Amino acid sequence: MGFWDFLNFKKRDFTDHYAPFTQANFFNENAGQIVSSVTAMQVPPYASAINLLSSSLAKLSIHVEKDGKQIDNHPIKRLFENPSEFLDSYTLFQQAEMNRLNEGNAYVYIQRDNTGNAENLLLINPSFVNIMIKKGGYHYQVTNNGDSFKVFPKDMIHVKSPVLDMNSLKGLGYYKILERQIGLWLAAQSHQNNYFALGSNPNSIIEVPEKLSPEKREMVREAWEKLNGATNKHRVAVVDAGMKYQKMGFNFQELEMNVLFDSMTKQIASVFNVAPYMLGHEGKGNTYTNVETQNMNFLQQALMPSIVAWEHQLKKLFVTDDGHRAKFNYETLLRADSKTRAERIKTLVDAKVMTINEGRQYEGLSPMEKIEE
């Protein structure tokens, strides 16, 4: 029995991956809402978390280093600065990370020249990709508009979400992890929208002195809604002789969704490992010191796992394993205020721990050609 047989990997029927969408209780479990990667982005804290993490990663510069030293003239460094004619570096990594978080997988195809060196990085839509698992290995099958081509793992940067579907070797999007919370949020939004769209209190009745046929009952309802609907809000209600308008009791606290939305925001924030205030939640007791500490936690808990995952996959850009590697520069996220940074650099330079030019590089400044000791 081979290793792949032991793991029971074989060519899969990927339609099974969507089985939950066809189950009878799917809509009931999600508050009657369709939850997908598209509808999930209609939930403000979820979309905010996706945008926060993807843009934070994309803002970080990437350099090539060997033995702890940056290699400024390396061709991969230039590739990061200009990955292709279609997308700039920021857009490529921002969209790729958004795909990873929302869809579960980020795919970037490495286009190589005749010598095997990477010359372009092309973003691939996750819906175009299937992983074909066969005995002895696997490859990526990319299909678009009926055209299909095979990509070997060495030529595909594939960064997954933390939760894996072991049947397909793909990551699961966060919308699947937060399915019920997203469904509840969408249902609450729909409830509010329906109420205000009606314009008048839907819990009201019009009493008439005679029995109405179904046709006349519908005519009375249409006439009332025409005169007192959304476009005629706050106008005086007029009823015919003999008719009585009765307003039924309504608890306006049912529309007070703040407690629900606050709870959902905190739950979504906890899944993404970010502080709720970063998603627009007004937390109590957020002082400057607290926020600074929370920013440190954001880097360590939320962003670093993504950085490490990307750095592992970016090793595929190097043809030979000669010690070169790609590194994200996240030092900017660790910086204190300018005064504290200046004092720290001065102390390190005076102690000959770093040179003046290394201190300038830390601050993003160009090196000085002549430095007086």
Question: Alpha-carbon distance 260 to 121, whole Å?
Answer: 43
Q: What is the DSSP string of 11-79?
A: ---GGGGGGGGGSTTHHHHTTT----TTGGGGSHHHHHHHHHHHHHHHTS-EEEEETTEE-TT-HHHHH
CA distance 128 to 134: 19
At 263, phi and psi to the nearest 5? -65, -45
Parallel, antiparallel or unpaired: strands 164-165 and 170-171: antiparallel
The residues pairing with 121 across neighbouring beta strands, listed in sequence order, are 110
Size of the chain, expressed as the number of residues it contains: 373
pTM: 0.74
Q: What ranges do the domains of the chain cover?
A: 1-199+251-334, 204-247, 337-368
Cα separations (Å) of 181 from 44, 84, 189, 281, 299?
12, 38, 12, 16, 25
For residue 287, the SS3 value is coil
181: Cβ contacts below 8 Å, ≥ 6 apart: 264, 267, 268
> Which tokens sit at 115?
């010598």
pLDDT of residue 16: 41
pLDDT of residue 132: 93
The predicted pLDDT at position 96 comes to 98
pLDDT for 176 equals 93
**What was the pLDDT predicted at 14?**
41
Contacts of 243 (CB under 8 A, 6+ apart): 206, 207, 208, 209
The pLDDT tens digits for 308-361 are 999 999 999 998 878 899 999 887 676 666 677 788 888 988 998 888 888 887
Per residue in 176-197, pLDDT (tens digit) is 999 999 999 998 888 777 777 6
Beta bridge partners, 65, equal 70, 325
Contact 207, 246 (CB under 8 A): yes
Residues of the chain scoring pLDDT < 70: 1-31, 197-206, 208, 212, 224, 226-256, 283-292, 332, 334-338, 364, 370-373
